[in-house]
Amino acid sequence: MPIRWDAETREAHLHNDRVSYILRVLDTGWLAHLHFGRRLDPSRTYGHLGPQGAGAFRNRPADPALLEYPVAERGDFRAPACVVEQADGSTVLDLVYAGHRIRRGKPALPGLPATYAETDDEAETVEVDLADGPSGLTVTLAYSIFRDVPCVARNARFRNDGATMLRVRCAMSASLDLPDDGWDMVQLSGAWARERHVVTRPLAPGRVSISSARGASGAEHNPFVILKRPSTTEEAGEAYGLSLVYSGDFLAEAEGDSFGTARVRIGIDPANFTWTLEPGAEIVLPEAVLAYTTDGLGGLSDAYHRLYRERLVRGRWRDAPRPVLVNNWEGTYFDFDEDRLVAMASVARDVGIELFVLDDGWFGERDDDDSSLGDWTVDRRKLPNGLDGLARRIQGLGMSLGLWIEPEMVSPRSRLFAAHPEWAIGVPGRPRTEIRNQLVLDMSRAEVVDHLFAALSDVLGSAPISYVKWDMNRNMTEAYSGALPPDRQGEFRHRYILGVYDLYARLTAAFPHILFESCASGGGRFDPGMLAYAPQTWTSDDTDAVERLAIQWGTSLVYPLSSIGAHVSAVPNHQVGRVTSLTMRAAVAFFGVFGYELDTTTFTDEERREVADQVAFYVAHRDVLQRGRFVRLRSPFEGDGNETVWMAVSDDRRRAVVGAYRVLDRPYAGPVRLPLRGLDPDAVYRVTAWPAGTTPHGEPEGGLRGGDDLMATGVVVRPGPFDPRPHGDFQALVLALDAVEDVAAG
Ligand code: DGJ
């Protein structure tokens, strides 16, 4: 069994063949953390790793002891995992062991997204109850260890078993103490149009944190941190990951203390959160997924990619190939009608694109972003035959139709707002801040969620729609619900997200054939919570190929290729004005869920041929590019960032696609050869360059090379000064590697 509870030592040892997670109930009843990391022999006990009961620790759970779920006010002066205010106004807690249960599989979290086990032998779960006698608070910590990935999923639930009201002021999903502070913290930070850039800084005494107060996980920071050794590379070395399966305000914080230990905690940001527990009431906190590897950042990503792709995403699109799409947004913005859309779709069909997505502007009277959000009825001026009429014409071309919605918002100029101004969040008597001319609906109200479910069910049931892009284009201000009493306003932000999850759950259940893609002005809510409902996410509004190298690299640290929406758009690029070749744009967008974001009717004949070739290449390699192992070879965040190289490899290592990119040309610079990784050293691969005829200097056209050779000597990713290939800025090289069965036949 992967969880062993030693009744004598009261030690719990969770293990698979890669990692061990060990905790222990001390004589005092406090829960100590002994180890999370390399697998240790589960038949032994590890009390020597915990506090020995010497000195001050006998009386108080003090620093620098490693603690499992630390409380405040009891002598541990580091950041606590929880703070609970009691009827007398105090926040002192003494959480002591009160019992535990071990169960096969992994229970679902009510109302919250979470990873899952498909069969009971894929995971095992231990729940440990900790009780505080005077207040009546019971905290249940749950730990699930997965059989096949080096990950432990944690969550906490708080229950009031006492007779008086409790107010939860801080409730982390996980707190992890490490015995030393020799770590770098890696975070994914940025802003709109430059999301999830990799930022690395060494831990030092004191706290460093990232958080969101936006009502969404946000473009500024992702709910994910890594602690890695300074020497850890992509290929080797220790790294921990903490990823929060949540889409609202979060806090991720690392603390180096004066004794040289480290604490990292992750959960709902306590800054704007309180939760009242009446006697008998309970709150379940979001799941945190912890991973550990000695195989470097690449090994950490492998773990998250597999778990999130296979046991977080659900539904029939989980394993299905995702269609190549064209989205009309940058092609038309709000200026379209049925004939224009069908003309775009018709060209798209001719070049092999499979799905036509109609973006913003099809409903109400929305000719710009100043009106109609909330009025989910088709605009007959633009679509006289309704969505059904459009869908039938698209289907007639052999494609399917996708549709944009933004359920959580309302325009002040809309019929919905006129009928229900109280459904928009805000403080009565104060002006509401408009962002992009819109307000946020109060998703904490059941009647709002019910209304949206009915209205959107009508839309999605009115036509054969196979894909939905669920957008969310502004963050929260005046986060206040008229439906909640004053002393419950601290619950609003979490209740909002629970409402979003409820709507997602109901719509995905009602329309299981629809592929959902989440979006928040691009990647402003790219988080694991969303992936539980929408298998893919619009990664960024920035489709510039150069910027996308950084965005997609950073995103890939935790999120799998199958979740990363990546499109080719027109040049000059609408976000940065940069002009890159069609080849460069496609070569970057290949590594994700591929599509286009432009007006296909503007293609020249040459561009049509190029795009048809791109789509054909992607479709031929779709399984590798969507579900393959992503191997990062050269980072845009290292050195001058001029070169990026990555590759995707099929699970059986028979097929791979390499992408190598150079931002600026360098005069008279030498060639760069880079060893590949993740191939089968015993296989022989046919190396084919895309587009045809771009084989790097020194590579035999369509030539055969051994996996050992490719991983030892590598391929030329940057041409030298005498390379016959054209020089210039923004160059891409794509190589397809296919293992040949019969080398002699070659
Ligand atoms: C923001 C999204 O990221 C874009 O792709 C587009 O859908 C617009 N919203 C539409 O308003």
Helix, strand, or coil (residue 447): helix
Q: What is the DSSP letter of 49?
A: G
Report the separation in Å between the CA atom of 439 and the middle of ligand 1, taken as the mean of its atom positions. Answer: 16
Q: Quickly count: other Cβ atoms within 10 Å of residue 379's Cβ.
A: 19
Q: Is the pLDDT confidence value at 743 over 70? A: no
On whether the CB atoms of residues 721 and 690 are closer than 8 A, the answer is no
359, 370, 567, best to mutate for ligand 1 pocket (most atoms within 8 Å of CB) = 359
Question: Could you list the active site residues?
Answer: 471, 541
CB of 360 sitting under 6 A from ligand 1: yes
Calculate mean pLDDT across residues 305-309. 98
- C-alpha distances in Å from residue 433, one per residue of 248, 414, 439, 454, 475: 19, 17, 8, 28, 10
Confidence of residue 600 (pLDDT cuts 50, 70, 90): very high
Helix, strand, or coil (residue 167): strand
Q: What is the pTM of this model?
A: 0.98
Q: Is the pLDDT confidence value at 594 over 70? A: yes
Q: Residue ranges of the alpha helices (H) in 621-746?
A: 622-627, 707-712
In the chain, what is the greatest distance between 2 CA atoms, to the nearest angstrom?
83
Q: Quickly count: other Cβ atoms within 10 Å of residue 62's Cβ.
A: 18
CB of 448 sitting under 6 A from ligand 1: no
- State the Cα–Cα distance between residues 494 and 212, nearest whole angstrom: 13
For residue 327, the ligand 1 atom closest to its alpha carbon is: 5
Query: Quick one: angle between helices 446-461 and 492-510, nearest 10?
Result: 30
On whether the CB atoms of residues 621 and 628 are closer than 8 A, the answer is no
Q: Is the pLDDT confidence value at 271 over 70? A: yes
Q: Phi-psi region for residue 592, left (φ > 0), alpha (ψ -120 to 50) or beta?
A: left
Calculate mean pLDDT across residues 205-221. 98
Calculate mean pLDDT across residues 274-294. 98
Q: What is the pLDDT of residues 149-164, one digit of tens each?
A: 999 999 999 999 999 9
* pLDDT (0 to 100) of residue 645: 98
* pLDDT (0 to 100) of residue 608: 98
Nearest to 259 by CA among 344, 178, 357, 150: 178
Q: What is the DSSP letter of 492?
A: H
On whether the CB atoms of residues 247 and 497 are closer than 8 A, the answer is yes
Calculate mean pLDDT across residues 168-187. 98
Question: What DSSP string runs through 80-98?
Answer: -SEEEE-TTS------EEE
Report the separation in Å between the CA atom of 247 and the middle of ligand 1, taken as the mean of its atom positions. Answer: 18
Burial of 74 from C-beta contacts in 10 A (0-12 / 13-18 / 19+): middle
Calculate mean pLDDT across residues 483-497. 98
* pLDDT (0 to 100) of residue 35: 98
CB of 468 sitting under 6 A from ligand 1: no
From the CA atom positions of the chain, what is the Rg in Å? 27
CB of 519 sitting under 6 A from ligand 1: yes
Angle in degrees, CA 440, 495, 437, rounded to 5: 5
- State the Cα–Cα distance between residues 596 and 644, nearest whole angstrom: 22
* pLDDT (0 to 100) of residue 719: 82
Q: What percent of the chain has pLDDT over 70?
A: 97
* pLDDT (0 to 100) of residue 413: 98
* pLDDT (0 to 100) of residue 746: 46
Confidence of residue 700 (pLDDT cuts 50, 70, 90): low
In this structure, the chain runs to a length of 746
Which residue CA neighbors atom 1 of ligand 1 most closely?
A: 521
- Give the contacts of 453 (CB within 8 A, at least 6 positions apart): 503, 506, 507, 510
CB of 473 sitting under 6 A from ligand 1: yes
On whether the CB atoms of residues 401 and 466 are closer than 8 A, the answer is yes
Q: What is the pLDDT of residues 317-353, one digit of tens each?
A: 999 999 999 999 999 999 999 999 999 999 999 999 9
Beta bridge partners of 689: 735
What would the 3-class secondary structure string for 104-123 be?
Answer: ECCCCCCCCCCCCCCCHHHE
Q: What is the pLDDT of residues 603-661, one digit of tens each?
A: 999 999 999 999 999 999 999 999 999 999 999 999 999 999 999 999 999 999 999 99
Q: Where is 191: in which H helix or E strand? A: strand 184-191
Q: Phi-psi region for residue 475, left (φ > 0), alpha (ψ -120 to 50) or beta?
A: beta
Calculate mean pLDDT across residues 706-730. 88
Task: Count helices and strands (H / E) in the chain.
Answer: 13, 38
Q: Is the pLDDT confidence value at 55 over 70? A: no
CB of 362 sitting under 6 A from ligand 1: no
Calculate mean pLDDT across residues 93-119. 98
CB of 403 sitting under 6 A from ligand 1: no
Strands 166-178 and 715-718: unpaired
Residue 600 structure tokens = 């296909």
Query: Quick one: angle between helices 605-620 and 338-350, nearest 10?
Result: 60
Q: Is the pLDDT confidence value at 408 over 80? A: yes
Q: Quickly count: other Cβ atoms within 10 Å of residue 724's Cβ.
A: 6
Q: Is the pLDDT confidence value at 702 over 90? A: no
CB of 273 sitting under 6 A from ligand 1: no
* pLDDT (0 to 100) of residue 701: 60
- State the Cα–Cα distance between residues 691 and 704, nearest whole angstrom: 18
Q: Is the pLDDT confidence value at 490 over 60? A: yes
- State the Cα–Cα distance between residues 329 and 609, nearest whole angstrom: 23
Hunting for tokens 């030329």 — which residue is that? Answer: 716
Question: What DSSP string runs through 281-345?
Answer: -EEEPPEEEEEEESBHHHHHHHHHHHHHHHHTS-STTSSSPPPPEEE-HHHHTT---HHHHHHHH
Q: What is the pLDDT of residues 495-554, one digit of tens each?
A: 999 999 999 999 999 999 999 999 999 999 999 999 999 999 999 999 999 999 999 999
CB of 359 sitting under 6 A from ligand 1: yes
The one-letter amino acid at 414? S
- State the Cα–Cα distance between residues 644 and 733, nearest whole angstrom: 11
Nearest to 380 by CA among 337, 331, 327: 337
Confidence of residue 722 (pLDDT cuts 50, 70, 90): confident
Which residue CA neighbors atom 9 of ligand 1 most closely?
A: 521
* pLDDT (0 to 100) of residue 489: 98
Confidence of residue 694 (pLDDT cuts 50, 70, 90): confident
Which residue CA neighbors atom 11 of ligand 1 most closely?
A: 360
Calculate mean pLDDT across residues 385-402. 98
Beta bridge partners of 264: 176, 254
194, 327, 329, 573, best to mutate for ligand 1 pocket (most atoms within 8 Å of CB) = 329
Report the separation in Å between the CA atom of 567 and the middle of ligand 1, taken as the mean of its atom positions. Answer: 13
Report the separation in Å between the CA atom of 626 and the middle of ligand 1, taken as the mean of its atom positions. Answer: 23
Higher model confidence: residue 429 or residue 719? 429
CB of 521 sitting under 6 A from ligand 1: yes
Q: Is the pLDDT confidence value at 424 over 90? A: yes
Report the separation in Å between the CA atom of 521 and the middle of ligand 1, taken as the mean of its atom positions. Answer: 5
Report the separation in Å between the CA atom of 360 and the middle of ligand 1, taken as the mean of its atom positions. Answer: 7
Burial of 358 from C-beta contacts in 10 A (0-12 / 13-18 / 19+): buried
Calculate mean pLDDT across residues 590-600. 98
Phi, psi dihedrals of residue 350, rounded to the nearest 5°:
-60, -30
Mean pLDDT of the chain: 96
* pLDDT (0 to 100) of residue 720: 82
Q: Which residues of 126-136 are buried (b: 16+ CB within 10 A; e: fewer)?
A: bbbbbbbeebb
Q: Phi-psi region for residue 613, left (φ > 0), alpha (ψ -120 to 50) or beta?
A: alpha
Strands 684-690 and 137-146: unpaired
- State the Cα–Cα distance between residues 123 and 129, nearest whole angstrom: 20
